[in-house]
Amino acid sequence: MSTWDGTERRKKKRFGVRGCTLRYKKGGLLSFLSSYSDKLLTLNLSETGCHFIARRAVPAGMPIAVLLEAPQAGDRISASGRVVWCAKSKEHEAFHVGVEFLSVPKAGRIQLKVLIDNSVLEKIDLSTKVYLKEIERL
């Protein structure tokens, strides 16, 4: 679980992107044996990482592969990285997960930058009611 001490260590500012979802699976050498999760809500995103809500805990330090999807992005954006933190939600039966991207293909980096530049929301207010409504749509 989380060992976050409250110190901001992100290299890039994170932004909310409306309609952005992701699927993830365990990364690493044997990742081809795993399948991607169901669609999950992405709360914020940068060129170097993301924060999403998962139905189960995802261990910190785990290598991870993600597929980001957003209407504004066109194609899916693939990235690999590692789980930096995971914390049980106080509001939902879910877990907040923070991921650091370690590898994003060049085309994905360009799509990610365009997505962030064109779809920026300074902050997404995600109440329990909004979360439940959004997760039902997926």
Matching residue, tokens 């399948």? 35
CATH number for position 130: 2.40.10.220
Q: Does this model's pTM top 0.85?
A: no
In a domain, 114, yes or no: yes
- Region 111-126: mean pLDDT is 68
Q: Can you give the pLDDT at residue 11?
A: 60
In a domain, 6, yes or no: no
In a domain, 118, yes or no: yes
What count of other Cβ atoms lies within 10 Å of the Cβ of residue 43? 20
In a domain, 88, yes or no: yes
Q: Can you give the pLDDT at residue 105?
A: 93
Do residues 127 and 43 make contact, with C-beta atoms less than 8 angstroms apart?
Answer: no
The parent domain of residue 102 ranges over 19-137
53 three-state secondary structure: strand
* Max intra-chain CA distance, the chain: 39
In a domain, 43, yes or no: yes
Total domains, the chain: 1
Determine what percent of the chain is predicted with pLDDT higher than 70. Answer: 75
- 110 Cβ partners below 8 Å, 6+ apart? none
